[in-house]
Amino acid sequence: MGFHSKSIRKRGAYRVVVSGVGIITPMGSGWTSNACGFRAGKCAIGPVTLFDVTRQKAKIAGEVQLPNSLPSTRLSYRQEKRIDRAGAMLLAAASEALTTSGWETDKMEEPVPVCLGTSAGSMRLGEEYYRAAIQGMTRRHQAERISGYQAHRQALNLCEGFGVNGPVTIISNACSSGANAIGHAFRLVQMGHARHAIAGGYDALCKMVFAGFDSLNALSSTFPRPFAVDRDGLAIGEGAALFCIERLDDAVARDAKIYAEIGGYGAATDLHHLTQPHPEGKAAVTSMSRACADARINPDQVGYINSHGTGTPLNDSAEGNAINKWAGASAEFLPVSSTKGGVGHLLGGAGAVEAAICLMAMAGGWIPPGISVEKVDPVCQFDLVQSPRDMPGLAVSLTNSFGFGGANATLIFNAVTGR
């Protein structure tokens, strides 16, 4: 890491794999409960209980049932007491990712970059800070709130809690943040800037963001049903997913479990509007094409797409058009689903969680179905998966993440065989 003009060298070409995964969503905590839930097409969205929504149009969200205690870390009791909902989810995902990776962080000689995506992080602490400030209340706890609200602080808790030395990169590209963070970490390792990395995304529910999406009429007043012709919006969710990422040869040398190879990453910016995608999904076509070029595959080699599929009229039609254009003649046979009908839109956590779902699908040989779709939007010229489906030998999956501001990101994962 760092930059030195005297050591400018050609780009590396390392194969990069995921060797540890941690996940927590409204579907549950950990790989197994999430894999079972997504495979079956369960819906974990329900009435909002975390804050008052009586004056909002929307009343539902995907809430995480937090574990009763934080995972075992090196943080002090006092530090743990300051960790809020977002930080708790981040630590839960980190604990599982590091445990499954088998990494012994104390023995890792090279820096372990931590690349996280989030859109609001611990906004609930920011909300508390603001309420206390305008009420002119005592300054007690205000310093903790303003410090804890910063996404970097949660990342530093992760580093201190698990003995990781960083550097820390927080990417806040709205709803594509998690995918961008994984893509960034992938590049660091692929190009030889780092030997390994921890990457993923997280976001916790908070009133401000909920009200924001509600003000835009982007939230469903019924249930989210991505790609249904009568879809009426999304449900917000919360959660986190983290990956341990390293070179294939390193993972093989230590006989680690390999979840998948990261085949490619593509990103592009949609200039159409701050909150609306270009109707034809131009930037989405670019990000998918770039990821494919990076992975050296053609669209017809992709076995499954976990779409961004929020359930808003504009997003799904733009993404549908983009997939049709990008896949061309092979679209008809391309299985596509959105898992946001089951857990909601996890914002900065979405890209990472949906990447983890791709790995689950590849590991188990199945495709997670979209749910609640009665009549499919005619934009879907592809195979919209609406019920649980087995897909043995699923070898290549792709996940899209698009965000406010036009941030578009695509990740491609390959099964690793014959190691």
Binding to other proteins in span 377-416, by CB under 8 A: 403-407
The residue from 65, 215, 222, 387 that contacts other proteins (CB under 8 A) is 215
**What DSSP string describes 125-194?**
HHHHHHHHHHTT---TTHHHHHHHTSHHHHHHHHHHHHT--B-EEEE--GGGHHHHHHHHHHHHHHTTS-
Rounded to an integer, what distance in angstroms lies between the CA atom of residue 395 and that of residue 355?
A: 14
Residue 398 host element (H or E): strand 396-403
Residue 77 within binding range of other proteins, rule CB under 8 A: no
Shortest approach of other proteins to residue 95 CB, angstroms? 19
Of 43, 115, 159, 175, which one is the catalytic site residue?
Answer: 175
Selected binder of other proteins within 35, 48, 170, 295 (CB under 8 A) = 170
Of 391 and 404, nearer to other proteins (C-beta) is 404
Q: Strands 236-237, 60-62: parallel, antiparallel or unpaired by DSSP?
A: parallel
Considering only residues 273-312, where is the footprint of other proteins by CB under 8 A?
274-275, 282-283, 286
Q: Is position 61 an interface residue for other proteins (rule: CB under 8 A)?
A: no
CB of 178 to other proteins, least distance (A): 13
Does 56 interact with other proteins (rule: CB under 8 A)? yes
Phi, psi of 398, deg, nearest 5 = -130, 140
Tell me how many residues contact other proteins (CB under 8 A). 76
Rounded CA-CA distance 208/402 in Å is: 21
- Record the tokens describing residue 270, joined without a space: 């949609």
Is 119 a binding residue for other proteins by CB under 8 A? The answer is yes
Using CB under 8 A, pick the residue from 171, 204, 219, 356 that binds other proteins.
Answer: 171
395: phi then psi, degrees, rounded to nearest 5: -110, -25
DSSP reduced 3-state for 351: helix
Shortest distance in whole angstroms from residue 352 CB to other proteins: 16
Q: Which of 184, 196, 278, 308 is catalytic?
A: 308
Number of Cβ atoms within 10 Å of the Cβ of 235: 29
Which of 2, 47 has the CB closer to other proteins? 2
Compute how many other C-beta atoms are within 10 angstroms of the C-beta atom of residue 50. 16
- Closer CB to other proteins, 68 or 138, in the complex: 138
Binding mask 172-211 for other proteins (x = CB under 8 A): xxx-----x---x--xx--x-x-------------xx--x
Judged by CB under 8 A, the residue of 2, 47, 392, 393 near other proteins is 2
Single out the segment in contact with other proteins by CB under 8 A; choices: 131-139, 246-254, 310-318, 320-328: 131-139
Query: How far, in Å, are 232, 263, 419 from residue 372 at the CA level?
Result: 12, 32, 40
Catalytic residue status for 175: yes
CB-wise, 11 or 375, nearer to other proteins? 11
Preceding peptide of 313 cis, ω within 30°: no
47: its two tokens = 């009435």
The residues that are catalytic are: 175, 308, 345
